[in-house]
Amino acid sequence: MSENFEPKIVGFFCNWCTAAAADLAGTSRIQYPANVRPIRVMCSGSVDASYVIKALLEGADGVLIGGCHPGDCHYVNGNYKARRRVALLKSILTTLDLDPDRVWLRWISASEGLRFAKVIRQMTEELSQKGPNPMGKSPQT
Amino acid sequence: MAKEVEKHIVVLGGGAAGIAAALALNDLGFRVSLVEKQSHLLGTIGQLDKQFPNDACGFCQLRSRIEPGSSELCLRHDLGAEGLDIYNLSTLWNVEKAKGDRLKLTFNQEPAYIKPELCVRCRLCEDVCPVEVPDDFNLLGKRKAAYIRYPMAIPSTWVIDGSNCTRCGECVKVCPTDCIDLAMQPEEFSIEADAVVISTGFALIDPSYLTELGIRFPNVVTSLELERILSCFGPTQGELKRPSDGSTPDKIAFIFCAGSRDRVHQYCSSACCMYGAKEARMLGDKYPDTELTIFYMDRRGYGKSYYSYMEETDVRWVPCRPAKVEETANGNLLVHYESEDGKFHKEEFDLLTLVVGQEGRAQDFAELFELETTEGFIKIKEGTEIETANPRVFAIGSAGGPKDLPDSITEAQAAAGRIASLLGISKKSAVPSKSVEPFPKVGIVFDPVGDGGAGLDQDLIKTFFASKGIEARFINYTETEQGLDELEQFIKEKEVGRLVVAGPSPNKAERLLKGRVQKLGWHPAQLELLDFREHVIWGFEDQSRVNEAALSLALAHAEKLRLLSFEQTEPQLLIGRALVVGGGATGLWAAKHFADVGVSVTLIEKTEQPGGQASKLTRTLEGFEAKPFLDELIKKVAKSKKIELLTDTTLDRIEGELGKFTCYLKRGEEELIRGAAIILFATGAEEYEPKEGEFGWGLEGVISERDFAWRIAQGETDNLESVVMIQCVGSRNEEHPYCSRVCCRRALANAIALKEADPKIEVTILARDVMTWGLSEIYYLKARELGVNFIRYEKDSPPEVSQRDGKLVVSVYDRLLDATVELTANNVVLANGITASTPPILYNDKPIAFDKFAFFAEVNPKFRPTELEADGLFAAGLAKGPKRLSEALTEASAAVAKALVFLRREKLEPKYYVARTNTRRCAFCGICIDACPNKARVMDEELESARVIESICQGCGVCASACPSQAAHLLTLESDQAFAMIDVLLSQQERGVDE
């Protein structure tokens, strides 16, 4: 594994919580590794399984879905639906020869800028250990 | 038609209640000025991450869902409303009468020393500011003199605290937009208001006098300090550390009623029992091994779900008020207390929290408006919760007495309802639909804040996008007027039809930027904001990678915009009529409200007479006579031409949706049909009927509290020597796990009336906890003064009632005496609680959901107290849970305010934040119907497809991801857009900029 390996993380961040937490981290200058590329979604429950699979097939080393803490969902229970979907998805990823541990679902509330940064750091570290997603095209030289 | 003069409402105080009132009024089309004394809005609620009873935030739910902005804005970041002006740092100093019953209010605005229109939130001023002062937000830390109260505050701009600033000028040197002016002077401004809402809230009591409770010791914190300690952006970043040594405490105690119900503050602060319990729960959740103890006087969980909330809180409850707190050598706290059995204890804790109460601070405001006060709270008109002696001035939340959050929000929305019926409301016409054509030219504007992002290579970025055929430009400070002008110029010059702004967060700048492009005739969706500053420039620790991120993120969003295309549907007509179910006080009051603003209403009552439970009431504890009020109300309703009153009528079932419900009514054998845009349930509740033998029910002389009140009212107290009252009959038990809210007050009213009629009558009240929250505590004190005896009993050792020698005998275990005492009585008065009697109603063939207590279930107990799960359905009064008459009326007004948001519209407008169904693909399976959290999806038999009610849909997209046939889709992120973005992000990121 290359020492310079920088994992690529695609983030699907709920507009109400995780995207705002990332904002807060920024405004508070709580910094985190530059490995995440966020896509703002309205609800973690709207993240289609095909988006996650697509990202992994296109070579993402990790996919992070950020949703509201249980009970906090702006849409009542979208985060629970996300939880169920991710659990199911993880169980089928193995059959596609994809690594389920590359998909993370985390609850990060709008005020948890610090937690956001911690999660990105932790995920980057764990993915670095894991090495590149074998589905990806050849890693950087 | 002559243009209506815009009605202007001033809301004084920008805490939770003030914001709720401002939004509710704004939703009704009023011009609203929200004036706040502090630098930023959100008062105490800004300091609370989570609030009871659902231990979540949910502030975003304050806006009615059909209003623009409700689908995408966190209201802690931005209130996002046209016609709602916010004034911070402003204090009211003069009130005078103006033309036509208006009030002219004059304010003094302290300078912020920072021009908000130029502040770009770069934080450089704060970074260089050398002055540190105690942080009044996080409480246990320091802040600078140049500061923002907390990162997402409203307004989102920094201010300089003039009283602490040394005028050193360091901030002026670093400010990139020259927005700091240290010579700024206070300014005066005046507003002529048609009505005023006072929502000045409370001051937290100053605990410094609580020396016996150890306030001077470092490890004794107030409940608000604990709240900040537990907050993830608090002084310890959410880690529980005790102030003296930073260690994690294992044994924590709470003392309730610190600074309430004592010699200084005789009243109860209403909210503390619950928020204290909430803090204990938060601690328990996060640190399950912590040992938690609560010392309390009465467990005042008087709201619908509060009793079970407290029961479910895993703590040791000790009913006593500790006498003394000492500090040990290692900083622990030694609490001296006497348990109920009279034994003295000394117990050591690692951390002690004083759960502090509310202090009235409306004195100055009251004087300006010539209103009376009690203990610093504005005196409220009897029989109401929000009205004052001045019919144009309303006091909500803790301005009128100590309140908790759910009650404050209900009052705020009620104030909007009352003001609507006072001033009338303006009709809202539909905005023409606007569609978006596919494939125009896309442009990108980068706004990384000045030289922000040291590694940003402008040439590289421009060259890259030129190679992609995309216009890219760097513009500084797009949120300033000059930046907006440059942005507009770029759009015109390059003839782009879509724009990505990679700059400030949409939470702060979306409204401003989208507002500008809308003026150019754009649909707001044609502009996409990318949080480039927050997520990349300020967030990335490796600044060498900002270029790579700039390319991939901006290109991904450009790709998303390129694929943007949709046709807006037409607005839907709505039926300009309301249906109110239930002709009790709540229903009558609501119907009259609707009629006052010119809305036609059908009011149905199942019995032959309107009046409901209120017709059985005598005087309230405060001396309000219910009967004359009710008679007058019935008369007005009967006379109103706008109200169709149908007695002996019930609602059988409802079909249709918001705006066009079809209501099937039954009147004997006859079926009546009425159309309505909204339906309000005010179906009431029943008094609990004790079982035979329960607390002696059925024995001669055992009587209900309500009947007893009538006897007293009729003077039938002559032969009484002794009366025993038993509280919590059919309340706070397994069958009815909630407090019935009215009984303790009613018992006190009866007891006081008896004692005043004849002081020789022995009156004993057997209660579990005496529920006299807020200012009604004084009646508890008064009853004690008059010689009423109180004996506390526990749920598992209830009093027993029997008959001996023609007299009633009550035996009860008295903990203080550690013995069972026997009391003889002429009458045993039972505080029969309130039980639900909500009728089953079918809505589109499915029963409407009730809560676990069989009352109507509000969709959010704090912020949407009168709305049911499906839009257009409301509930108020006893139908929703136990309530006093004045509270039921308040709730009715709140429901009316929320209902008028729909009824003032001619048509319901579709929004852009919506999902749709591709009818050709729809397999009609119904999965999306169950997935939708807002009941915005229906099975359309004619179309043979699922259909979205666009006025209700919130655009979460859950249906789209749930749909197995990809028929359900979301306008704000279609799957082709998502796929394109993923493609770009991964290919660009991989290649990076080395290529």
Residue B211 CB neighbour total at 10 angstroms? 11
A114 contacts in chain B (CB < 8 Å): 232-233, 237-238
B401 and B353 within one domain:
no
Domain locations in chain A as residue ranges: 9-130
Instruction: Determine, for residues A111 and B49 on separate chains, whether the beta-carbon distance falls below 8 Å.
Output: yes
Interchain contact, B956 vs A78, CB within 8 Å: yes
Q: How many CB atoms lie within 10 A of CB A93?
A: 19
Residue B286 lies in a domain: yes
Contacts with B121 from chain A: Cβ below 8 Å: 27
Which among B367, B50, B76 has a CA at the least distance from the CA of B200? B367
Q: Across the interface, which of A26, A72, A136 has its CB nearest the CB of B538?
A: A26
Residue A81 is which amino acid? K
CB B500 within 8 A of CB B470: no
> Is B268 exposed, middle or buried (CB count within 10 Å of its CB: 0-12, 13-18, 19+)?
buried
Looking at chain B, which residue has its C-alpha nearest residue A55? B982
| Separation in Å, CA A124 to CA A63, A101, B25, B548, B989 | 11, 12, 47, 17, 15
- Same domain assignment for residues B672 and B788: no
Is residue B807 a part of any domain in this protein? Answer: yes
User: Taking CA atoms, what residue in A is nearest to B77?
Assistant: A20
DSSP-derived 3-state class of residue B68: coil
DSSP state of B384: -
Same domain for B228 and B302, yes or no, is: yes
- List of residues 6+ apart from B631 with CB closer than 8 A: none
* DSSP letter string, B262-292: SSS--S--SSHHHHHHHHHHHHHHH-TT-EE
* Residue numbers in A near B238 (CB within 8 A): 112, 114
Report yes or no on B814 lying in a domain: yes
Residue B976: count other Cβ atoms within 10 Å of its Cβ. Answer: 13
Residue B134 lies in a domain: yes
Looking at the DSSP assignment, which residues form a beta bridge with residue B105?
B95, B191
Report the C-alpha gap between B573 and B970 in whole angstroms: 24
Determine the pLDDT at residue B990.
44
Query: Rounded distance, CA B400 to CA B360, Å?
Result: 8
Same structural domain, B350 and B211: yes
- Whether the CB-CB separation of B226 and B353 falls below 8 Å is answered with yes
Phi then psi for residue B187, to 5 deg, are -125, 155
- Mind giving me the DSSP string for B655-702? EEETTEEEEEEEETTEEEEEEESEEEE---EEE--PPTTGGGTTSTTE
B542/A55 Cβ within 8 A:
no
B993 within some domain: no
How many structural domains does chain B have?
A: 7
Q: B94: alpha, beta or left, given left = phi > 0 and alpha = psi -120 to 50?
A: beta
Does B219 lie in the same domain as B170? no
Indicate yes or no: CB of B961 within 8 angstroms of CB of A45.
yes
List of chain B residues whose C-beta atoms are within 8 Å of the C-beta of residue A111 = 49, 152, 231-233
**Is the Cβ pair A24, B233 closer than 8 Å?**
yes
| Beta-ladder partners of B86 | B34
B507 closest CB neighbour out of A23, A28, A114: A23
Q: Which residues of B283-311 are buried (b: 16+ CB within 10 A; e: fewer)?
A: bbeebeebebbbbbbbbbbbbbbbbbbbe
Same domain, B22 and B99: yes
DSSP result, B15-48? SHHHHHHHHHHHHTT-EEEEE-SSSSS-TTGGG-
We report the CATH number of the domain holding residue B412 as 3.50.50.60
In chain A, what residues touch B989 (CB-CB under 8 Å)? 8, 37
Superfamily in which the A9-130 domain is placed by CATH: Lumazine/riboflavin synthase (3.40.50.960)
CA A60 to CA A55: how far, in whole Å? 5
Residue A28's CB is within 10 A of a number of other CB atoms, namely 18
Task: Mark whether B210 and B310 lie in a shared domain.
Answer: yes
What is the chain B residue with the closest CA to A16?
B74
Interface test with chain A among B508, B986, B988, B989, by most A beta carbons within 10 Å: B986
Q: By C-alpha distance, which of B140, B154, B11 is closest to B77?
A: B154
Closest to B552 measured CA to CA, from B536, B533, B534: B536
List CB contacts (< 8 A) between B913 and chain A.
Answer: 42
Q: Between chains, do A20 and B540 touch, taking CB under 8 Å as contact?
A: no
| B86 & B33 share domain | yes
Which residues, at least 6 apart from B498, have a Cβ–Cβ distance to it below 8 Å? B440, B441, B442, B443, B526, B527, B528, B558, B561, B562, B564
Residue-range definition of the domain harbouring residue B343: 204-359
Q: Half-sphere exposure (CA, 13 Å, Cβ side) for B788?
A: 25
B684: left (phi over 0), alpha (psi -120 to 50) or beta: left
Please compute, for residue B974, the number of CA atoms within 13 A of its CA located in the half-sphere on the CB side.
18
Q: Which of B444, B241, B213, B420 is nearest to B335 (CA)?
A: B213
Of B505, B545, B958, the CB nearest to A81: B958
How far away is chain A from the Cα of B255, in angstroms, using its nearest Cα?
A: 28
Same domain (yes/no): B712, B722:
yes
Interval A13-39 mean pLDDT: 94
- Find the Cα–Cα–Cα–Cα dihedral B541, B547, B549, B550, rounded to 10°: 120
Q: Cβ(B745)–Cβ(B703) under 8 Å? A: no
Helix (H) or strand (E) holding B705: helix B705-713
B54 contact residues in A (CB cutoff 8 A)? 71
Answer whether A34 sits within 8 Å of B958, measured CB to CB. Answer: no
Q: Are B269 and B357 in contact (CB under 8 A)?
A: yes
Q: B73 contacts in A (CB within 8 Å)?
A: none
Most A CBs within 10 Å: which of B990, B991, B994, B995, as the mutation test of the A interface? B990
* Chain A residues within an 8 Å CB radius of B46: none
Regarding pTM above 0.90, the answer is yes
- Whole-number Å distance between alpha carbons of B211 and B169: 42
Best residue in A46, A54, A89 to probe B by mutation, most B CBs within 10 Å? A46
**B995 inside domain:** no
> Are the Cβ atoms of B541 and A33 closer than 8 angstroms?
yes
**Residues B417 and B25: beta-carbon distance below 8 Å:** no
What's the token pair of residue B919? Answer: 């009818």
Nearest chain B Cα to A39, which residue?
B981
Interface test with B, best of A6, A76, A133 (most B CBs within 10 A): A76
Mutation choice for B interface testing from A48, A83, A84, A128 by most B CBs within 10 A: A48
Contacts of B981 in chain A (CB under 8 A): 39
Average pLDDT over residues A114-136: 94
For residue B948 the two structure tokens come to 């979205």
Tokens found for residue B882: 């136990």
Q: Which residue of A has its CA nearest to B983?
A: A58
Chain B closest-CA separation from residue A128 CA (Å): 15
Classify residue B983: in a domain, yes or no: no
* The two three-digit tokens of residue B49, written as one number: 């991450």
Whether A23 sits inside 8 A of B534 (CB atoms) is: yes
From the list B979, B983, B980, B953, the residue with the least C-alpha distance to B968 is B953
In chain B, residues with a C-beta closer than 8 Å to the C-beta of A31 are 538-541
CA distance B56 to chain A (A): 5
Q: What does the block give as tokens for B829?
A: 């008065």
Tell me, yes or no, whether B49 lies in a domain: yes
Whether the link from the prior residue into B882 is cis, omega within 30° of 0, is no
Contacts of A141 in chain B (CB under 8 A): none
Same domain, B93 and B192: yes
Backbone torsions φ then ψ of B86, nearest 5 degrees: -110, 130
pLDDT for the residue B503: 93
Residue B346: how many other CB atoms lie within 10 Å: 10
| Residue of chain A minimizing CA distance to B123 | A27
**Is residue B76 domain-shared with residue B142, that is, in the same domain?**
no
Give how far Cα B645 sits from Cα of B606, B607, B641, B650, Å: 11, 12, 10, 12
Residues of chain B with pLDDT under 70: 1-5, 450-454, 988-995
- Nearest Cβ partner of B957 from A37, A46, A73? A46
Half-sphere exposure of B988 (CA within 13 A, CB side): 28
Give contacts of B985 with chain A, Cβ < 8 Å: 8, 10, 37, 39
Task: Select the residue of A41, A55, A113 nearest B233 (Cβ to Cβ).
Answer: A113
Return the residue matching tokens 């978006």.
Answer: B436
Looking at the DSSP bridge assignments, the partners of residue B473 are B445
Q: Which of B802, B833, B864 is the last residue of a domain?
A: B833
Report the gap between the CA of B33 and the closest CA in chain A (Å). Answer: 26
CB atoms within 10 A of CB B638: 11
Q: Mark whether B116 and B255 lie in a shared domain.
A: no
Neighbours of A59 (CB within 10 A): 20
Asked if residues B901 and B67 have their Cβ atoms less than 8 Å apart, the reply is: yes
With beta carbons under 8 A apart, name residues in chain B contacting A108: none
pLDDT at B816: 81
Nearest to A58 among B505, B542, B983 (CB): B983
Which three-class secondary structure string do you get for chain A? CCCCCCCCEEEEEECCCHHHHHHHHHHCCCCECCCEEEEEECCHHHCCHHHHHHHHHCCCCEEEEEECCCCCCCCCCHHHHHHHHHHHHHHHHHHHCCCHHHEEEEECCCCCHHHHHHHHHHHHHHHHHHCCCCCCCCCCC
Give the distance between the most distant pair of CA atoms in chain A: 46
- The partner residue sitting opposite A78, judged by closest CB among B72, B540, B933, is B933
Interface contact flag, B58 A72, Cβ < 8 Å:
yes
Q: pLDDT by residue (tens digit) across B255-269?
A: 999 999 999 999 999
Most A-contacting residue of B61, B535, B548, B935 (CB-CB within 10 A), to test interface:
B535
Is A20 close to B556, i.e. CB distance below 8 A? no
Tell me: cis bond preceding B155? Omega within 30 of 0 counts.
Answer: yes
CA of B536, closest CA in chain A: separation in Å?
8
